[in-house]
């Protein structure tokens, strides 16, 4: 890994969630936990929506560059994609621990099993492949939670 410029260093810091991606095991799961903590701190409001949007934007803008810096396709140290996917799964869900736990479990299941079209998106080159599969897993989780909410509320 070569970190020659300030931009490269900033890219690595952001895409690894300031070091979370260097965890020896389950770095994506740990990034998802960080996303849950952020949700619990911010709450289900417009600030969370804005934060999620910025995170997704940064994911797309920086993940491809981070992949080149690490010289590895979908490098496991890049965890902003897991973080953003988890944030997406929490959008517009009630600020209720039951929904938060379900969102976490669903997101990790969808991310792990890569059901269609997540498996196809993951094969794309650069940021769309790195980020797209996690956002689709987050979207699937969000839809599942909305359906559950229809029957619970």
Structural domain count, the chain: 1
Integer Cα distance of 11 and 153 in angstroms: 42
> Which has the minimum average pLDDT: 33-37, 110-114, 127-131, 147-151?
127-131
Q: What is the pLDDT of residues 115-143, one digit of tens each?
A: 888 778 777 787 888 888 999 999 999 99
Q: Within a domain: residue 1?
A: no
Q: Within a domain: residue 17?
A: yes
Q: Three-class SS of residue 41?
A: helix
Which residue segment(s) compose the domain that 128 sits in? 6-152
CB neighbourhood size of 37 (10 A):
10
The total number of residues written for the chain in this structure: 153
- pTM value is 0.92
Q: Within a domain: residue 66?
A: yes
Tokens encoding 9: 């260093």
Question: If you ran DSSP here, which 8-state letter would residue 45 be given?
Answer: S
Do 28 and 76 meet the contact criterion of CB atoms below 8 Å apart?
yes
Q: Within a domain: residue 55?
A: yes
Q: Within a domain: residue 81?
A: yes
Q: Within a domain: residue 57?
A: yes
């Amino acid at each position: 890994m070569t970190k020659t410029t300030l931009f490269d260093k900033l890219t690595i810091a952001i895409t690894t969630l300031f070091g979370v991606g260097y965890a020896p095991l389950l770095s994506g799961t740990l990034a998802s936990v960080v996303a849950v903590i952020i949700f619990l701190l911010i709450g289900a409001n417009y600030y969370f929506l804005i934060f999620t949007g910025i995170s997704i934007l940064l994911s797309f803008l920086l993940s491809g560059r981070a992949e080149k810096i690490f010289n590895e396709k979908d490098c496991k140290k890049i965890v902003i994609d897991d973080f953003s996917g988890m944030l997406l799964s929490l959008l517009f869900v009630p600020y209720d621990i039951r929904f938060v736990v379900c969102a976490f479990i669903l997101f990790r299941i969808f991310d792990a099993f890569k059901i269609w079209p997540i498996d196809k998106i993951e094969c794309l080159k650069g940021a769309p492949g790195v980020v797209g599969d996690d956002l689709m897993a987050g979207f699937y989780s969000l839809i599942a939670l909305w359906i559950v909410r229809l029957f619970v509320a």
